[in-house]
Amino acid sequence: MSQDIHIRPATLADAASIVAIYNPYVLDTTISFEEQPVTVPEMAERIRKVGEQGLPWLVVELHGELLGYAYATRWRVRHAYRFAVETSVYFAAAARGQGLGSRLYRALLQALRALGVHVAIGGIALPNPASAALHEGLGFRQVATFHEVGWKAGRWLDVGYWELKLNDGPPPPDAG
Protein backbone atom coordinates (compact mmCIF):
# COMPACT_ATOMS: atom_id res chain seq x y z
CA MET A 1 0.00 0.00 0.00
CA SER A 2 2.87 2.38 0.78
CA GLN A 3 3.78 3.03 -2.85
CA ASP A 4 0.15 3.79 -3.69
CA ILE A 5 -0.06 6.64 -1.14
CA HIS A 6 0.56 10.09 -2.56
CA ILE A 7 0.72 13.25 -0.44
CA ARG A 8 0.66 16.50 -2.38
CA PRO A 9 -0.40 20.14 -2.09
CA ALA A 10 -4.12 20.72 -2.49
CA THR A 11 -5.37 22.56 -5.55
CA LEU A 12 -8.60 24.43 -6.12
CA ALA A 13 -9.71 21.44 -8.21
CA ASP A 14 -9.68 19.35 -5.00
CA ALA A 15 -12.43 21.46 -3.40
CA ALA A 16 -15.28 19.09 -4.34
CA SER A 17 -13.49 16.05 -2.91
CA ILE A 18 -12.60 17.98 0.24
CA VAL A 19 -16.22 19.10 0.69
CA ALA A 20 -17.34 15.47 0.34
CA ILE A 21 -14.98 14.53 3.18
CA TYR A 22 -15.72 17.53 5.40
CA ASN A 23 -19.49 17.97 5.23
CA PRO A 24 -20.32 14.69 7.03
CA TYR A 25 -18.30 16.06 9.98
CA VAL A 26 -20.40 19.24 9.84
CA LEU A 27 -23.75 17.50 9.50
CA ASP A 28 -23.34 14.32 11.55
CA THR A 29 -20.80 15.04 14.31
CA THR A 30 -19.67 17.58 16.84
CA ILE A 31 -16.07 17.31 15.61
CA SER A 32 -16.57 20.46 13.54
CA PHE A 33 -18.39 23.38 15.10
CA GLU A 34 -19.69 24.48 11.72
CA GLU A 35 -23.41 23.88 11.46
CA GLN A 36 -24.12 24.39 7.74
CA PRO A 37 -22.60 22.36 4.91
CA VAL A 38 -19.76 24.05 3.06
CA THR A 39 -20.13 24.62 -0.69
CA VAL A 40 -17.46 23.81 -3.24
CA PRO A 41 -16.82 27.52 -3.99
CA GLU A 42 -16.50 28.25 -0.25
CA MET A 43 -13.97 25.44 0.14
CA ALA A 44 -12.01 26.60 -2.90
CA GLU A 45 -11.83 30.06 -1.31
CA ARG A 46 -10.52 28.55 1.95
CA ILE A 47 -7.83 26.65 0.05
CA ARG A 48 -6.88 29.83 -1.81
CA LYS A 49 -6.65 31.88 1.41
CA VAL A 50 -4.40 29.33 3.12
CA GLY A 51 -2.12 29.42 0.09
CA GLU A 52 -2.08 33.23 0.14
CA GLN A 53 -0.86 33.06 3.74
CA GLY A 54 2.05 30.93 2.58
CA LEU A 55 0.84 27.96 4.60
CA PRO A 56 0.44 24.35 3.48
CA TRP A 57 -2.79 22.55 2.62
CA LEU A 58 -2.01 18.93 1.81
CA VAL A 59 -4.11 16.05 0.54
CA VAL A 60 -3.48 12.32 0.66
CA GLU A 61 -4.50 10.01 -2.14
CA LEU A 62 -4.61 6.24 -2.16
CA HIS A 63 -4.83 4.62 -5.59
CA GLY A 64 -5.64 8.07 -6.99
CA GLU A 65 -8.60 8.69 -4.65
CA LEU A 66 -8.43 11.71 -2.36
CA LEU A 67 -9.10 10.35 1.13
CA GLY A 68 -7.98 13.08 3.48
CA TYR A 69 -6.52 16.52 3.92
CA ALA A 70 -4.58 18.58 6.44
CA TYR A 71 -3.79 22.25 6.58
CA ALA A 72 -2.60 25.06 8.81
CA THR A 73 -3.96 28.53 9.45
CA ARG A 74 -2.59 31.41 11.46
CA TRP A 75 -3.29 30.95 15.17
CA ARG A 76 -4.21 34.60 15.75
CA VAL A 77 -4.10 37.76 13.68
CA ARG A 78 -1.72 39.90 15.73
CA HIS A 79 1.78 40.04 14.25
CA ALA A 80 3.50 38.58 17.34
CA TYR A 81 1.62 35.30 16.73
CA ARG A 82 3.05 34.87 13.22
CA PHE A 83 5.11 31.80 14.18
CA ALA A 84 2.15 29.86 15.60
CA VAL A 85 -0.43 27.98 13.53
CA GLU A 86 -3.53 25.93 14.13
CA THR A 87 -3.62 22.62 12.32
CA SER A 88 -6.58 20.61 11.05
CA VAL A 89 -6.86 17.13 9.58
CA TYR A 90 -9.90 15.30 8.18
CA PHE A 91 -10.41 11.91 6.57
CA ALA A 92 -13.11 10.11 4.67
CA ALA A 93 -14.83 7.51 6.84
CA ALA A 94 -13.43 4.64 4.75
CA ALA A 95 -9.87 5.88 5.29
CA ARG A 96 -9.86 6.12 9.08
CA GLY A 97 -7.73 3.73 11.06
CA GLN A 98 -5.30 2.92 8.23
CA GLY A 99 -2.37 5.01 9.42
CA LEU A 100 -2.90 7.63 6.73
CA GLY A 101 -3.61 10.32 9.33
CA SER A 102 -0.23 10.14 10.98
CA ARG A 103 1.57 10.05 7.59
CA LEU A 104 -0.32 13.08 6.33
CA TYR A 105 0.05 14.96 9.61
CA ARG A 106 3.81 14.26 9.69
CA ALA A 107 4.09 15.71 6.18
CA LEU A 108 2.19 18.82 7.29
CA LEU A 109 4.41 19.25 10.36
CA GLN A 110 7.54 18.85 8.25
CA ALA A 111 6.31 21.54 5.85
CA LEU A 112 5.61 23.83 8.80
CA ARG A 113 9.08 23.23 10.25
CA ALA A 114 10.60 24.15 6.90
CA LEU A 115 8.63 27.41 6.96
CA GLY A 116 10.08 28.30 10.38
CA VAL A 117 6.83 27.82 12.28
CA HIS A 118 7.59 27.60 15.98
CA VAL A 119 4.40 26.05 17.43
CA ALA A 120 1.57 23.97 15.98
CA ILE A 121 -1.72 23.97 17.88
CA GLY A 122 -4.47 21.40 17.46
CA GLY A 123 -7.95 22.15 18.74
CA ILE A 124 -10.15 19.11 19.38
CA ALA A 125 -13.84 19.08 20.20
CA LEU A 126 -14.18 16.73 23.15
CA PRO A 127 -14.57 13.88 23.56
CA ASN A 128 -12.59 12.68 20.56
CA PRO A 129 -10.17 9.96 21.70
CA ALA A 130 -9.04 9.14 18.15
CA SER A 131 -7.93 12.71 17.46
CA ALA A 132 -6.31 13.03 20.88
CA ALA A 133 -4.38 9.80 20.24
CA LEU A 134 -3.28 11.00 16.79
CA HIS A 135 -1.96 14.27 18.20
CA GLU A 136 -0.25 12.65 21.18
CA GLY A 137 1.29 9.98 18.95
CA LEU A 138 2.93 12.79 16.98
CA GLY A 139 4.33 14.43 20.12
CA PHE A 140 1.64 17.01 20.86
CA ARG A 141 0.73 17.52 24.50
CA GLN A 142 -2.56 18.77 25.86
CA VAL A 143 -2.23 22.25 27.33
CA ALA A 144 -5.81 23.45 27.84
CA THR A 145 -9.46 22.54 27.97
CA PHE A 146 -12.13 25.17 27.48
CA HIS A 147 -15.38 23.97 28.98
CA GLU A 148 -18.76 24.42 27.30
CA VAL A 149 -17.52 26.86 24.66
CA GLY A 150 -19.56 25.38 21.81
CA TRP A 151 -23.24 24.55 21.41
CA LYS A 152 -24.13 21.95 18.80
CA ALA A 153 -26.42 18.95 18.60
CA GLY A 154 -28.41 20.19 21.58
CA ARG A 155 -25.56 20.21 24.04
CA TRP A 156 -22.58 22.18 25.32
CA LEU A 157 -19.20 21.02 24.07
CA ASP A 158 -15.69 21.33 25.41
CA VAL A 159 -12.61 22.02 23.30
CA GLY A 160 -9.14 20.80 24.18
CA TYR A 161 -5.94 22.28 22.82
CA TRP A 162 -2.77 20.37 22.10
CA GLU A 163 0.56 21.97 21.16
CA LEU A 164 3.79 20.84 19.55
CA LYS A 165 6.96 22.91 19.41
CA LEU A 166 8.38 22.52 15.91
CA ASN A 167 11.52 24.67 16.02
CA ASP A 168 13.77 25.83 18.84
CA GLY A 169 15.38 29.21 19.25
CA PRO A 170 14.50 32.52 17.68
CA PRO A 171 13.11 32.72 14.16
CA PRO A 172 15.49 33.27 11.25
CA PRO A 173 16.46 36.93 10.78
CA ASP A 174 14.54 37.19 7.50
CA ALA A 175 11.35 35.65 8.93
CA GLY A 176 9.55 38.95 9.40
Please tell me the pTM assigned to this model.
Answer: 0.93
> For position 8, what pLDDT does the model report?
97
> For position 176, what pLDDT does the model report?
58
Q: Are the CB atoms for 85 and 72 separated by under 8 Å?
A: yes
DSSP strands (E only) in the chain: 5-9, 57-62, 65-74, 84-91, 119-126, 141-152, 155-165
> For position 175, what pLDDT does the model report?
63
What are the 10-residue block averages of pLDDT along the chain, 176 residues in total?
83 98 97 97 98 97 93 95 96 83 95 96 96 96 98 97 92 67
> For position 66, what pLDDT does the model report?
96
Q: Measure the CA dihedral 10/3/22/109, to 10°.
A: -60
Residues 6+ apart with CB under 8 A from 50: 56, 57, 71, 72, 73
> For position 3, what pLDDT does the model report?
66
Classify domain 2-165 by CATH architecture. 3-Layer(aba) Sandwich (3.40)
Cα–Cα nearest to 160, from 168, 148, 176, 173: 148
HSE-up (13 A, CA, CB side) for residue 75: 18
Q: In what order do the strands lie in the sheet with 65-74?
A: 5-9, 57-62, 65-74, 84-91, 119-126, 155-165, 141-152
> For position 94, what pLDDT does the model report?
82
- Element housing 79 (H / E): none
